[in-house]
Each structure stands twice: as structure tokens, then as C-alpha cells.
Structure 1
Amino acid sequence: MTIVRLGYVAMSVELQNCSPSKTMTFTQFEQLKDREAAIRKLERIATTNLENCLRLLKHNTANEIHFFRLSSRLIPLANHEELSDWDYFTPLKKPLNKLADYIHAHPSRIDFHPDHFVVLNTHQKDTLKNSIQTLSMHKGLLKGMDIDPEHRCVIHVGGGYEDKEKALESFIYNWAYIPQSIQQMIMLENDDTTFTMNETLYLCEKLGIPMVFDYHHHLANHEEEDWEKHWERVISTWSQSKLPIKMHISSPRSEKEFRAHANYVDPDLFLGFLDRIKGSIPEIYCMIEAKQKDAALFQLMDDMQGREGVTIIDKSSFEIR
């Protein structure tokens, strides 16, 4: 028996005018002649994004959703080189405190997935510096919401650079330059083009990093690996974490666009995975990476109704035997 908790990514298709990713380009910023006024506008946009996050969390509570990925675009231009003097956390203290108060009153699992510009196996010092800076921003946001940052940011291994073995060793080499507080935030995910499950596990086991298994990515990029043979290894990477194991679930858009995410999750694909891991762990958190966001979660829960071996717990959770 295993309890399955479903979550969704960043935005709701059910709520209107609730984007947490409103932005301003640097070109638009430069067009405002008064730099201080332009910075105040950035702060207003970031405040709106955080207020919309609060609306999303209230939406989740109303729908008994206990797992959510925050947008990594909450603060536009946060780490732009031309805005290195901008102290964006001070003006955002009030909306962050409101989020903290709400999260304390309505606990749920909240994390981030920083974008592909975060590359820790890079050969470029500036790229590594910018990656650490971006991860530091995520840590600041989590601390501002009074969330323990440990194992709250999932990232990919990075580039293959035409030699995956060397690229893996570059990750290990660069890891020594990552501050420990940032190291503790990180989870690693297998990707759909370069680093397979087994290659990602190599780093996770060597460096003590939890692995987030992406089943769709594995189907797209596995080099004949049998994921079931490595599943116990994935579980073991979570042995030192305070959090239950998590994975990503999505479905291919089509055979032609296999790597692209479909609007919804194929329930048979998902149940095929769950049938093979049920009983191996008491609980698993499954992040839905589908174009229809929360609507995909609601549809998947509808699809679970009446399935053999499935007992519904609430609007986003079920037990599988």
C-alpha cells in the first residue's frame, strides 16, 4: 500500500487573472528614464506575483491540494547584472510574511524548479556564479515564507558537452564551490535528452542528493535502462531527507512530439508506474507537469475513481494497493 499525493506547477487554469509570473523585460526597464521609478515598478510587479501566489495557495486549500511548485519568475530581473544593487527582499517582506502566515496555518509541500539557466556542471565561471546567485534567490524566497529550504529546488544535471562522463565529473568538481546551504536545497532530476536515470543516480549517490525520478523523461531518454532495477536506489537517495520521495509525471503530447508535455496525464500510463512501485514506499508526492496545470490534476483524480486497487482519500490524494 502506498499513499499518492498529486501536485501541479505554478499556475492555475481555473483561477482568472492570477499569474505569479508577471514580468518586465530589461528593455522595458531601460525605457523608463527614472531608474528609481523603474525599480519601484519591478517591486510592484513582484508584490502582485506574491499576492497571486497567496491566491493560488488558498485555491489549493479549498481543493485539498497539498503539493505545489512555485513559479521561479516571482521577481522579474532579480539577478540581472545591471540591477546588482537592488535589494528586492526588503520591499517584499510584507507579502512574503503573509505567505508565511498562510503556510503555517495551512501546511503543504512547496518547492521550486529553477529554469534551465541554472547549470552546475558548466565550464564557465560566470555561468556557475549566476547559477549560484539564482539558487540563492530561491533560498531567500523560501526563508521569507518561513519554509525550510532543504530539498526544495529540483534541477537537471546540466549540459553533456559532447562527453557525458567528463560532464558528470565537472558537476562533482563544481559541487565543492557550491555553498553548503545551497547544496542542501538541491534535488536532481533525470532529463529527456542527456542524462539518464542511472547517470543522475551516480551523482545523487556520490554527493548525497535526493533524486527526483521523471518517468516521462525516462521513457524519452533511457539508453535501454530498466528503471525498476534502479528504483530501490532512487528510494535510498531520500533516506536522509525530512521529506517523502517525490517524482514527476507527465504524458507525451504525441508519438511525433514525444518529449513535449500533453495537456493531461494518461491515467493508464501513470497507474502502470504506480502498480510497479506500490508497497515499496509508504507515500509518494507526484508533481504533474501537464499543460492544463490544476485542471490536469482534477481530471486525473476523476480518472482514478472506481479503479481497481485505488481508494480515494481526498481531492488530490489516493491510496493504491
Structure 2
Amino acid sequence: MIVKLGYVAMSVELQNASPSQTMTFAQFNKIKDREAAIRKLERIAESNIDNCLRLLKHNAGNQIHFFRLSSRLIPLANHEELLDWDFIKPLKESLKKIGDYLIDHPMRIDFHPDHFVVLNTPNKDILANALKTLVMHKNLLKGMEIDTEHRCVLHVGGGYEDKEKALEQFIHNWGYIHPSIQRMIMLENDDTTFTVKETLYLCEKLGIPMVFDYHHHLANHEELEWKEDWERIINTWRISPLPVKMHISSPRSEKEYRAHADFVDPEMFLEFIQAIKGTVPEIHCMIEAKQKDAALFQLMRDMQGAKGINIIDQSSFFVD
């Protein structure tokens, strides 16, 4: 079984390369000339995309084949006062550079849109805003010439004091979502509301791949044992051209159990990897740790010399 590690959006090793520089609407409003304010937004977005390319080059140089892009590449992209701003057009060339680079240096790329992207809301306006944000992600992926299938991880959404009803609301809303948006989505179990079994219910019913978050499961579960559901989780990926994906992180402390630690606990990770050994030919593990790429490099150092682990390159290993 091949294991490939990835990390999230920012590097702690690469200086001055934030892909999430922003501008508030209050700052935008202070610029009297609206056209000049929009040009400034475009310059910030351009800088974010340039930094994104720098991060991809950093990844290629360090043999990292899996990366989550920042969802904040374009500040104020969906603000209700800026609906007339066609932000993709001025960024076409920059986005294409990313697409060209990924042709020469293939990497699995995806997004994790913000928590306000909620698809099981009973509120039509909140749903419309969520879909608008997903359309923005689709346009970015298309601009980067990345196949949009299964590139956006979402949580199920809110419990709204009745989880069964909230799950059925997701199914109801799904029927109104355009197939091009549906095919982008993966669902993840979360740390406070929807457990593995509840997330699986939706994934199996609607044909959505499930991203298993091990740390979230430990924080929020019906029963602690997850192995009985593992086969079902794998089966949700049969419809996908991509290998199974999961999230890995460690609790910051017993007191702050849900918060992500700086690094990944190698024993916890190895225990998980040994438990799933042989169930899939390849699995991609997204590290959600505060130390980003430094956490990935540290985990790879921790894997060296571990029993049954054969290092392939700086971010991948084989488990026999």
C-alpha cells in the first residue's frame, strides 16, 4: 500500500508566500474610486495566485504530490456589493500558469471551502451563498485546468437541533444542486455534529466520496471502533478517479482535544496505517497540523526506520 502525505494551503518553510492576503469590505469602501478599488483587489488576488504557484514549486522541489489550495485566493469574490466584478477574467493568465505547471509537475490539488458553505441549510439565502462560493471554486479549478471532480471537501453542515431532519434536508437540497457542482464534492465527518455513520449515510445514498477524518472521529463518534465502517468508506471512492483521501491530525491536548496540534503524533498515525494496511492500493493523507509542511517533513522523519515502512520519496512511503 502506498501512502502519500499532503499539507494545507500555507508553508512555514517558504517565506512571504501567503496565498490568502486579503482586503476587508470596509477597506474597499474607503477607496473613493470604485474602479481603483477593484484594481487593488485584482492585484491582491494576482499576488495570492503567484504565491500559490511558488508553493507548488516548493512542493515539486520537495517531492510533495498532494496539496490543499487556499479558498481565500480572491478577496471579496462573493461579496454582495461586488456581484458585477468578473474576477476570473483579469486572472486568466495567472491561473493558466498554475495549470501549465501542474501538467509538468502532476500533483493532487483540492479545496476545503469555509465552514459557512452549508448545503443542508433550510435557509434559501444561505444555500444560494454556499452555491455561489462553490461556483467560484469551480471557476478557479477550470481556470487552472484542473479536473473539477471530487476537489472540494465539505462538512455535512448544521444539526439544527434535529440531526435526522438535517440529514434529510441535505438530501432535499442536493436535488436542486447542478450536477457540475455535485461532482466536485466530497463529505467529511466533523468533530462536533455529524459522525462517520451519519456522513456515510449521505455518501452512500447520494454517491459522494467520504473523507475520513480520524481526529474528528476520536472527538465525535457513536462508538469508538471505526474499522467496521472502513470498508464502507472505501466503497464510496469506487465512483472516483482519485485514490481514497483522509485527514490526519492530532489533538493539541486533552483539554483542547478538538484543536489541531503543531505536529502529527507518529504513533497514532502508524497505528492507523497498520490497521488499514492492504485494504487499498494507495491512500492520500492530508495533514491538518499547525506547522503545515514542517509537520509533513517531521512525520516523514518519524516514519524512517519504522517497522514495515519503506520510504519512496520525501512525502511518500510503502507499507508492506
| Superposition TM-score, scaled by structure 2 size | 1.00
Match runs of 1:1-321 below 5 Å: 2-321=1-320
Mapped to 2, the partners of 1:134 and 1:18 lie a distance apart of: 24
Answer yes or no: is the 8 Å Cα contact 1:160–1:167 preserved in 2.
Answer: yes
Mapped to 1, the partners of 2:278 and 2:172 lie a distance apart of: 37
Q: Cα RMSD over matched residues?
A: 0.5
Deviations 1:146-194 (A, max 9, x none): 0000000000000000100000000000001111000000000000000
Any unmatched runs of 5+ in structure 1? none
Identity %: 75
Mapped to 1, the partners of 2:202 and 2:161 lie a distance apart of: 18
Mapped to 1, the partners of 2:18 and 2:169 lie a distance apart of: 37
Query: Shift in Å at residue 277 of structure 1?
Result: 0.3
- Supply the AA of the counterpart residue of 1:82: E
Query: Shift in Å at residue 223 of structure 1?
Result: 2.0
Mapped to 2, the partners of 1:197 and 1:97 lie a distance apart of: 37
Query: Shift in Å at residue 226 of structure 1?
Result: 2.1
Mapped to 2, the partners of 1:242 and 1:233 lie a distance apart of: 17
Deviations 1:227-278 (A, max 9, x none): 1000000000000100000000000000000000000000000011111101
Answer yes or no: is the 8 Å Cα contact 1:8–1:68 preserved in 2.
Answer: yes
Tell me which stretches of 4 or more aligned residues in structure 1 moved more than 2 Å.
none
Question: 3-state SS of the aligned residue for 2:289?
Answer: coil
Question: 3-state SS of the aligned residue for 2:73?
Answer: coil
Query: Shift in Å at residue 224 of structure 1?
Result: 1.4
Farther-moved stretch of structure 1 (182-191 vs 96-105): 96-105
Mapped to 2, the partners of 1:136 and 1:154 lie a distance apart of: 14
Mapped to 1, the partners of 2:213 and 2:78 lie a distance apart of: 29
| Superposition TM-score, scaled by structure 1 size | 0.99
Query: Shift in Å at residue 225 of structure 1?
Result: 4.7
Mapped to 2, the partners of 1:305 and 1:20 lie a distance apart of: 31
Answer yes or no: is the 8 Å Cα contact 2:7–2:286 preserved in 1.
Answer: yes
Question: 3-state SS of the aligned residue for 2:90?
Answer: coil
- Supply the AA of the counterpart residue of 2:45: A
Q: Report how many aligned residue pairs link the two structures.
A: 320
Answer yes or no: is the 8 Å Cα contact 1:7–1:66 preserved in 2.
Answer: yes
Mapped to 2, the partners of 1:58 and 1:215 lie a distance apart of: 29
Mapped to 1, the partners of 2:221 and 2:269 lie a distance apart of: 18
